[in-house]
Structure 1
Amino acid sequence: MSPRKSVAEARRTRERIKERGVAIASVEGLEGLTIGRLATDLGMSKAGVLGHFGTKQALQLATLDAAAAAFSRLVWEPADGAQPGLPRLRAICEAWITYLETARDTFPGGCLFTTASIEFDARDGLVHDAVARLFAFWRRRLAAEVRTAVAAGDLPADTDPEQIAYELVGLYMALNQEIQLFAAPEAAERTRRALDRILAPR
């Protein structure tokens, strides 16, 4: 086997491990993500899985990175072509609803980040810090989109972007709960009605 082929196969194996890790963690949490479970699910040896990540914590962090890339692909990227301002912000919000309703292949247990934020909110350590950084980054990005909408005249000049971002994150965490815990068929529509109030061009 050529060195190039060996490197490519190692990369593919690492991606398979992370993909399966995301699926498991969305259901069982990042603490439920074990080397043994992944080895069994993927038909690998424990040493084979461990060789790619070294420690459980490294595996958890890599899983978060993979989930963040999927979230970006499913929520942020679909809105890239929308008009800057309220149209793009609304497109992001609608993609976020779709992500929570339909992304079962990637996140069979719902939003991994909602799960991780509850699982690690009272813990110290690198995984806690990574989850907090991701939420903070997305809140800053939402606030930036709100500022763009204000600058475009789509929202009032006295709009508080940080407050809007805070409310949007809370709304989507509630939507994830309604879908996962209650299987509420009206959850998406309730979310859209809440969005109409939060993003109303008063």
Structure 2
Amino acid sequence: MSAPPKPRLLATKPRAAKPSAARALQKGRQTKAAIVDAALGLATHIGLEGLSMGALAELMGMSKSGVFAHFGSREELQISVIREYHARFEQEVFYPALQAPRGVARLRALFERWMARTSVEIDSGCIYISGAVEFDDRPGPVRDALASSVRTWHAALKRAIVQCKECGELRADTDEEQMLFEIHGLILALHYEARFLQTPGSLTRALTGFDHILQRYGAKVPPMQVLPSPSTPKE
């Protein structure tokens, strides 16, 4: 009796992309990244709603249809900008702070780096804050992407607060949601006072406020020193 025929493969191994096609794909990704970078720069000054395909095309020296081809819609462009902003926020604030040990040291590192970034954004603008003003009452994918990014950051801060309790560096009855609310409130107040009202000493007051929060929840720590930033904050 002869052996049964071997089953035929359902799918063949995909062919490798031709060098020319691979180069074109890489160039397309680089162009899209450059457009997002330019769009992020614009959005920090004029807001997400200020973005337009036409303005970006002029800035990039491209046709409007060329910019549109990379995103398909203005909404997708705005979402791409939010994702890029969040990725940079994580690289500058979140990941470096993880080098600090769990507990108050890490929570302090998170806030110090947040403040260092905030001191720059006093001049340039913050997508999280300006975007919240623009989209607070406008449901849709852009608002969802923005809110998701902020919630992700808040979840990281909340975990750090919980770890402080687990390490015994904050009182066991500390309400982590309330503490997070108060810390976030300092950032919002700082932007309003320093960026809008241009109140002298706003950055120092925010730093002092953070120390007061720690002390109120049972932490015994020395006053912080703000990290140096690329630009001088308004005082």
TM-score, scaled relative to structure 2? 0.80
Aligned to 1:179: 194
Deviations 1:7-44 (A, max 9, x none): 11111111111111111111111110100011111111
- The alpha-carbon deviation at position 184 of structure 1 amounts to 3.8
User: Separation in 2 of the partners of 1:77 and 1:185?
Assistant: 31
- Corresponding letter in the other structure for 2:105: P
Q: Would you say 1:189 and 2:204 are equivalent positions?
A: yes
1:75 to 76, 88, 93: 93
User: Separation in 2 of the partners of 1:11 and 1:169?
Assistant: 35
Q: Structure 1: which 5+ residue stretches go unaligned? A: none
Aligned to 2:6: none
Q: Would you say 1:23 and 2:41 are equivalent positions?
A: yes
Q: Would you say 1:118 and 2:133 are equivalent positions?
A: yes
Structure 1 stretch 166-175 or stretch 58-67: which is displaced more? 166-175
| Number of residue pairs matched by the alignment | 199
- Corresponding letter in the other structure for 1:178: E
Structure ranking higher in helix proportion? 1
Q: Would you say 1:38 and 2:56 are equivalent positions?
A: yes
- Corresponding letter in the other structure for 2:54: G
Q: Secondary structure at the match of 2:124?
A: coil
Structure 1 stretch 189-198 or stretch 166-175: which is displaced more? 166-175
User: Separation in 1 of the partners of 2:56 and 2:156?
Assistant: 33
* Superposition CA RMSD, Å: 1.6
Q: Would you say 1:140 and 2:155 are equivalent positions?
A: yes
- Corresponding letter in the other structure for 1:186: G
Aligned to 2:15: none
- Corresponding letter in the other structure for 2:58: T
Q: Secondary structure at the match of 1:2?
A: helix
User: Separation in 1 of the partners of 2:120 and 2:169?
Assistant: 30
Q: 1:160 to 1:69 in 2, by over 3 A?
A: same
The structure that has the greater radius of gyration is: 2
Q: Would you say 1:152 and 2:170 are equivalent positions?
A: no
TM-score, scaled relative to structure 1? 0.93
- Corresponding letter in the other structure for 2:171: P
